[in-house]
Amino acid sequence: MIPEVVVIDYGVGNLHSVQRALEHCGAKVLLTSDPERILAANRVILPGVGAFENAMQVLKNLDLVTAIRELPKREIPLLGICLGMQLLLDESEEFGVTSGLGLIPGRVVPVPSYTKLGVPQKIPHIGWSALMPSEEVSGWQNTLLQDVKSSEAVYFIHSYMASPNTHVHRIAECMYGEHKIAAVIGFEKVMGCQFHPEKSGEVGLKILKRFLQL
Amino acid sequence: MKNIRLIARLDIKGPNLIKGIHLEGFRVIGSPNEWATHYYNQGVDELIYMDCVASLYGRNHLGDIIRAAAKDIFVPMTVGGGIRSVQDAAEILRSGADKVAVNTAAISNPQIITDIAKKFGSQCMVLSIEAKQIAPGRWEAYTDNGREHTGLDVVEWARRGVSLGAGEVLLTSVDREGTRKGFDIDLVQSVSTEVSVPVIASGGMGKVDDLIEVVIQGGADAVAMADILHYKRQDIATIRKLAENSGIGVRSYESYDDS
C-alpha cells in the first residue's frame, strides 16, 4: 500500500523539498492548508524555516491552530521539521516571547553563542552533527529513529533550539560547542526533528520512511 | 567540537559544469547533474551552484538544473549568480534550492539582504563575496566574476552584510581561485573573526593540507572545493579521512551506494 501523508502548506518553509523527499520514499503527498483535510490525514508533517512569530501568525490566519492541536487527540501522527518542530512547544524566546502550539511542554531558546569553554561560536549552527540518544532514553526502539544508528549524522541549520520541560521527551541530541541540543523530541504521536531529514541524505530518508510507517 | 562542511562548488555556464582560473577562462567539465549525483553518492555535505554568466544576461538560468538535481539529491543546495530581487530568490528556492548566494545585487542594493532574510529567514541568505587583495591585509569586493571593482573593503562589507541579515558568508578569493595555490588564509581569518555567522572558504584548494590550514589557521567553517574534485585529484572520502586524521571534525559518513 502506498503511504499517504499530508504536508501542511502555510506559505512559509521549504515544503517542496519535504515533498520531493517523501515522494522519493514512495509516499503520496498532499499539500494543503485545509483544516478538514489535515484532520482526515493518516499522518501529518509541519515543515518550516524562518521566524517563529511569523509562522505562528500565519497558522492563526489560516485557522490551522485548532486543527493541528486536534491531531494528537485523534492519534494522528504529527512530525514537525526544524521551525515546525519548534512550533510544537509552548513558547519561543525568538524576538520577545511568542506562544506556540503547546503540544510538547517546553520552550524554544537561543542556541548558545559561546561554547562551554567560553569561546564564541558561530550562529546559526549549520552543518552535519551526529545523533546520540539522550541520557533519559534507553535506545530508539519504537521511535522515529528506530532504523538509525547512534552517531549517524544529519543536517542542521538553526539559531534557536527546543528545550522540553520533561527530559523523557528528548529522544536524541547532538553536540554543538559542547552544548547538548535537542535533535529529536517526541511525546506519544507528536514528534519533531530540529534537523532537516529531507536534506540529510540517506539517513534522513530512513527517518522519513519510518514516519511513513507510523 | 564543530564539524566542518565539505562542499562541492559547481560553476555553471549554460548547460555545462565548467571550471576557470581566477573565475575566468572557463573549461567544460561535463554535465552538472552527473557530477552532482556523483558527489552526493560520495557523501558531499552540500552543493553550491554558481551561474557564471548570469550577470552578463542579468538573470539566473539554473532553475532547470536545480529542479532536476532536487529529485535525487538530498543534501542542501545553495544557488548563486544573477539573483537580483526577492522574486528571483523565491523562484530559485521554489525550484529546489535551500539557500541563495547574492553578490552583485547586495552591493548595489544592500536592502535586498534584509528583504530576503525577512521573507525566507537568514539561514537562506548567503552573502557571496569575491575578494581581491589590494594591499597586505586589505581586500576589495568585486562583482561579475572578479571583473568589476566596487571600492568596498571586504571585511567591512562582510560585517555590514551580516548585520543586515546574511546568515552565512561565501568568501571567494579571486586571486587564488583555480590556481591550486591554497586558500588565502589571511583573508578567511580576517573575515571569520569579524562575523558571527559561518564562513565558507572558496578558491585555491590544491591539496588536503590547504583545507586543514584554512580551517585551523583561517577559522573557516566550511570549505568549497571545485578543481580538486572535478579533475579527480582527490575524492571526498579521502579528503574526509585526511581531515579527520588531522583532528578536524567532519560528518561521520557511511557510504550506502556509489554506483
Contact B2 A127 (CB under 8 A): yes
Closest-CA distance, B135 to chain A, in angstroms, reads: 28
Contact B253 A153 (CB under 8 A): yes
* Partner residue opposite B74 with nearest CB, options A122, A151, A198: A198
Contact B123 A126 (CB under 8 A): yes
pLDDT one digit per residue (tens) for chain A, 214 residues: 899 999 999 987 678 899 999 999 999 999 999 999 999 999 999 998 888 998 999 999 999 999 999 999 999 999 999 999 999 999 999 888 999 999 999 999 999 999 999 999 999 999 999 999 998 888 899 999 999 999 999 999 999 999 999 988 999 999 999 999 999 999 999 999 999 999 999 999 999 999 999 9
CA distance B221 to B3: 8
Confidence of residue B16 (pLDDT cuts 50, 70, 90): very high
Residue B2 vs residue B196, higher pLDDT: B196
User: CATH for A4-213?
Assistant: 3.40.50.880
Q: Where are the domains of chain A?
A: 4-213
Contact B50, B12 (CB under 8 A): yes
Contact B201, B171 (CB under 8 A): yes
Q: What 3-state class would DSSP assign to B11?
A: strand
Q: List chain B residues with CB under 8 Å of A176.
A: 2
Q: Which residues of A are catalytic?
A: 82, 196, 198
* Partner residue opposite B75 with nearest CB, options A129, A159, A201: A201
Task: Collect all residues from A whose CB is shorter than 8 A from any CB in B.
Answer: 14, 16-17, 20-21, 24, 49-51, 113, 120-124, 126-130, 151-153, 155, 157-159, 175-178, 196, 198-202, 204-205
Residue B257 vs residue B144, higher pLDDT: B144
Contact A201 B74 (CB under 8 A): yes
Chain A, chain B: beta-carbon pairs less than 8 Å apart: 98
Rounded to an integer, the average pLDDT of B159-176 is: 97
Tell me, what DSSP letter sits at residue B194? T
Question: B115: exposed, middle or buried (C-beta count within 10 Å: 0-12, 13-18, 19+)?
Answer: middle
Give per-residue burial for B187-204: e unless 16+ CB within 10 Å, then b: bbbbbbeebebbbbbbbb
Predicted confidence at residue B256, as pLDDT, reads: 56
Question: What are the residues facing A181 on neighbouring strands?
Answer: A174
User: DSSP letters along B14-46, please?
Assistant: TTEEEEEETTEEEEEEE-HHHHHHHHHHHT-SE
| Closest-approach residue (CA) in chain B for A129 | B251
Give residue A208's Cα distance to chain centre. 11
Residue in the structure block whose three cell numbers are 552538472: B32
- Average pLDDT over chain B, rounded to an integer: 94
Q: Where are the domains of chain B?
A: 5-245
Rounded to an integer, the average pLDDT of B41-49 is: 97
Q: List chain B residues with CB under 8 Å of A151.
A: 252
Q: List chain B residues with CB under 8 Å of A200.
A: 74-75
Closest-CA distance, A210 to chain B, in angstroms, reads: 17
Predicted confidence at residue B97, as pLDDT, reads: 94
User: DSSP letters along chain A, please?
Assistant: ---EEEEE--S-S-HHHHHHHHHHTT-EEEEE--HHHHHT-SSEEE---S-HHHHHHHHHHTT-HHHHHHTGGGT--EEEETHHHHTTEEEE-TTS-EE---SEEEEEEEPPSB-TTS-B--SSEEEEEE-EE-TT----TTSTTTTPPTT-EEEEEESEEEEESSGGGEEEEEEETTEEEEEEEEETTEEEESS-GGGSHHHHHHHHHHHHH-
Q: Does B42 touch chain A (CB under 8 A)?
A: no
Confidence of residue B2 (pLDDT cuts 50, 70, 90): confident
Give the least confident one: A25-34, A95-104, B54-63, B170-179.
B54-63
Do you know the residue count of chain B?
259
Contact A95, A108 (CB under 8 A): no
Closest-CA distance, B251 to chain A, in angstroms, reads: 5
Please choose, from the candidates A126, A133, A121, A196, the residue with its C-alpha nearest in 3D space to the C-alpha of residue B3: A126
Q: List chain B residues with CB under 8 Å of A123.
A: 196-197
Q: Does B259 touch chain A (CB under 8 A)?
A: no
Residue B181, CB-side half-sphere exposure with 13 Å CA sphere: 11
Q: B158 pLDDT exceeds 60?
A: yes
Model pLDDT for residues A31-48, shown as the tens digit of each residue? 999 999 999 999 999 998
Report pTM: 0.95
Class of the domain covering B5-245: alpha beta
E runs forming strands in B31-108: 46-51, 77-80, 99-102
Which of A14, A54, A116, A178 is the mutation pick for testing B, counting most B CBs within 10 A?
A: A14
Q: List chain A residues with CB under 8 Å of B5.
A: 126-128
- Average pLDDT over chain A, rounded to an integer: 95
CA distance A184 to A148: 12
Q: List chain B residues with CB under 8 Å of A48.
A: none
Contact A155 B76 (CB under 8 A): yes
Interface predicted TM-score (ipTM) over 0.90: yes
Contact A127 B123 (CB under 8 A): no
Model pLDDT for residues B200-212, shown as the tens digit of each residue? 999 999 999 999 9
CA distance A176 to A126: 10
- For A153: left if phi > 0, alpha if psi spans -120 to 50, otherwise beta; the answer is beta
CA distance B152 to B155: 9
Residue A113, CB-side half-sphere exposure with 13 Å CA sphere: 6
Q: B124 pLDDT exceeds 70?
A: yes
Model pLDDT for residues A143-182, shown as the tens digit of each residue? 999 999 999 999 999 999 999 999 889 999 999 999 999 9
Model pLDDT for residues B219-241, shown as the tens digit of each residue? 999 999 999 999 999 999 999 99
Please choose, from the candidates A103, A214, A110, A84, the residue with its C-alpha nearest in 3D space to the C-alpha of residue A169: A103
Q: Which residues of B are catalytic?
A: 11, 130
